[in-house]
Amino acid sequence: MLKKYSGLNVLAIILFSIFSVSFVAKTSNNYFEITKNLDIFATMFKELDMFYVDEVDPEKLIRTGIDAMLNSLDPYTTFYSEEDMEGYRMQTTGKYGGIGALIRRTDDYVIISEPYEGFPAFKAGLMAGDKILEIDGVPAKGKSTDDVSKMLKGKPGTDVELKIERFGDKTPMTKTLTRDEVKIKNVPYYGVLENGKTGFIRLSNFTEDCSKEVSDALKELKSEHNIQSVVLDLRGNPGGLLNEAISVANIFVDKGQEIVSTKGRKQEWSNSYKSKSAPVDTEIPLAVLIDRGSASASEIVAGVIQDMDRGVIIGQRSFGKGLVQTTKVVGYNSKVKMTTAKYYLPSGRCIQAIDYSGGYNDNLEKIPDSLRTSFKTTNGRTVYDAGGVDPDIDIDIEMYANITQSLMNKQLIFGYVNQYRLKHSTIPTPDKFELAQADYDDFVKFISKEDYDYTTSSEQLLKDLEESAKEEQYLAVIEDDLENLTSKIKHDKQKDLYKFQEEIEQLLEYEIVSRYYYQTGRIQESLEDTKEVAAAMEVFADTDKYKKLLKAN
Q: CA 73, 77, 83: angle at the middle one, nearest 5?
A: 135
Q: Are 389 and 302 in contact (CB under 8 A)?
A: yes
Cβ count near 143 (within 10 Å):
19
The packing angle between helices 412-423 and 501-527, to 10°, is: 70
Rg (CA), the chain: 27
Q: What is the DSSP letter of 3?
A: -
Q: How many residues does the chain have?
A: 553
CA distance 511 to 225: 29
262 membership: H or E segment, kind and range: strand 258-264
CA distance 214 to 197: 18
What are the residue numbers of the active site?
Answer: 296, 307, 321
Written as one letter, the residue type at 155 is K
CA distance 512 to 178: 28
Q: Is residue 306 packed enough to be buried (19+ CB in 10 Å), middle (13-18) or exposed (0-12)?
A: buried
CA distances, 384 to each of 236, 314, 345 (Å) = 21, 16, 11
CA distance 310 to 549: 11
Q: Say whether 476 sits in a helix, a strand or coil.
A: helix
Q: Are 115 and 128 in contact (CB under 8 A)?
A: yes
